[in-house]
Amino acid sequence: MELDLGPELRAFREKMRAWIAEQKPADLTGPEHPAWPEWERRLLEARLVCPQWPEEVGGRGWDGARLAIFNEECDRARVERVTRGMGESLVGPSVIVHGTDEQRARVLPRIINGEDAYCQGFSEPDHGSDLAGVETRGEVVRDELVVTGQKVWTSGADRANWIFVLCRTEPEAPRHRNLSYVLMPMRENGIEIRPLEQMNGATGFFEVFIDRARAPLTNVIGGLGNGWRVAMTTLGFERGGRAAVAHLAYEREFWALVETAREYGRDRDPLVRQQLAWAYAQVQVMRYQGLRRLAQMAVRREPGPEASLTKLYWSEYQRRFGEIAMDVIGADALVRPDGDGYATSRWQRTFLSSRAGTIFSGTSEIQRNIIAERALGLPREPRVIEEREAVGGSARR
């Protein structure tokens, strides 16, 4: 099914479909293919890397519908759109909203051309989803910020040459006003990374140890003490930014499971068919939800609490989808295949990996609180310590 967004966007879809067909190198399969650099060059020349960014910073100023259409047409042509990871989806939008003209001119082109790849330095070992409680310290020394602390669950730290760090720079300031958001080089800068092995056998997350790492004060986005606001912009894009492409990956995954159901002879099972129908419906809801969310992002509207709804929706869906996949393959779900290390089958990896989705980028419990309190205006959830004090009990932190 193809969404009809009217004659203007229908013409845009046809234009993009023709451009991709004409410019895509023959037999291009992915970033490992020899023709990938040529595909990347053509996209850069056409300003089709980070096209949702404003024209004045190197994008094309596309709204959410156009970006979604371009993603769909790349997927239709079986070619990946060149993306810049967290630099494109998290750092860039935050710099566009909160950065100075000098910072935008310096940081954004290097993301577009692929010179700089970023990872995220937010989570810490002792604070979970309590981002305001970070203990990583930043000390102003002349014209530099000197940072010391530890971060954890850092995706892609092995591939990044920059990290965006939330650190405490104003120790006497009130909570939420004592943090700063700084861009820091990763290499030869007092930063050590260590891989964390996950239960699916992968090592996609890392611990990051920061020992007096340095960055110029000109790399502080939004100014000293204003890091909380910048971080909320980043998290809004992290929680809602997948809207552009999420449904495409989930749809491919869905049809792969349908094929597996056929291979196992489960495609005629009424219960399996019902579960698969549910999964397909959820993917389509994500598609329409994504179009609405992207339209807001494209006009440079700062992400609001509704981004938590997107994150909650896809993470809860993925966890249930992993369980459905286990049901489809039955007893085979209990036996790992032969192989080096901790070998797992495709659907075992899907199931195991899906358990993390309701934890990273803010737990589902945190997302529900944000939706309830900031989107629906419901009363704040009372703290346990306040409840105990109210009835005369004692509480220790």
**Same-domain pairing of 369 and 266:** yes
At 65, is the pLDDT very low, low, confident or very high (cuts 50, 70, 90)? confident
Report the CATH number at residue 159: 2.40.110.10
- What integer pLDDT is reported at residue 395 of this predicted model? 32
Q: Is residue 384 part of a domain?
A: no
Q: What letters, b where the CB count within 10 A reaches 16 and e where it falls short, cover 271-280?
A: ebeebbeebe
Residues of the chain above pLDDT 70, percent:
89
**Same-domain pairing of 125 and 219:** yes
Which segment of 118-127, 218-227, 271-280 scores lowest on mean pLDDT? 118-127
**Whether residue 300 has pLDDT greater than 60:** no
- pTM surpassing 0.85? no
- What integer pLDDT is reported at residue 392 of this predicted model? 39
Arithmetic mean of pLDDT over the chain = 87
Report the CATH number at residue 284: 1.20.140.10
**Same-domain pairing of 18 and 55:** yes
State the average pLDDT over residues 85-110: 96
**Same-domain pairing of 338 and 255:** yes
At 293, is the pLDDT very low, low, confident or very high (cuts 50, 70, 90)? low
**Same-domain pairing of 210 and 324:** no
**Whether residue 186 has pLDDT greater than 90:** yes
**Whether residue 397 has pLDDT greater than 70:** no
- What integer pLDDT is reported at residue 341 of this predicted model? 77
- What integer pLDDT is reported at residue 393 of this predicted model? 39
Q: Which domain holds residue 146?
A: 115-225
- What integer pLDDT is reported at residue 303 of this predicted model? 57
Q: Is residue 230 part of a domain?
A: no
**Same-domain pairing of 51 and 121:** no
At 245, is the pLDDT very low, low, confident or very high (cuts 50, 70, 90)? low
Residues of the chain above pLDDT 90, percent:
58
**Same-domain pairing of 357 and 273:** yes
Q: Is residue 302 part of a domain?
A: yes
**Whether residue 240 has pLDDT greater than 60:** no
**Same-domain pairing of 335 and 249:** yes
**Whether residue 236 has pLDDT greater than 90:** no
Total number of domains constituting the chain: 3
At 215, is the pLDDT very low, low, confident or very high (cuts 50, 70, 90)? very high
**Whether residue 129 has pLDDT greater than 70:** no
**d(Cα 309, Cα 367) in Å, to the nearest integer?**
7
State the average pLDDT over residues 260-288: 94
- What integer pLDDT is reported at residue 79 of this predicted model? 92
State the average pLDDT over residues 201-213: 89
Largest pairwise CA distance in the chain:
74
List the catalytic residues. 238
Note the pLDDT tens digit of each residue in 357-366. Answer: 888 777 888 8
Q: Is residue 99 part of a domain?
A: no
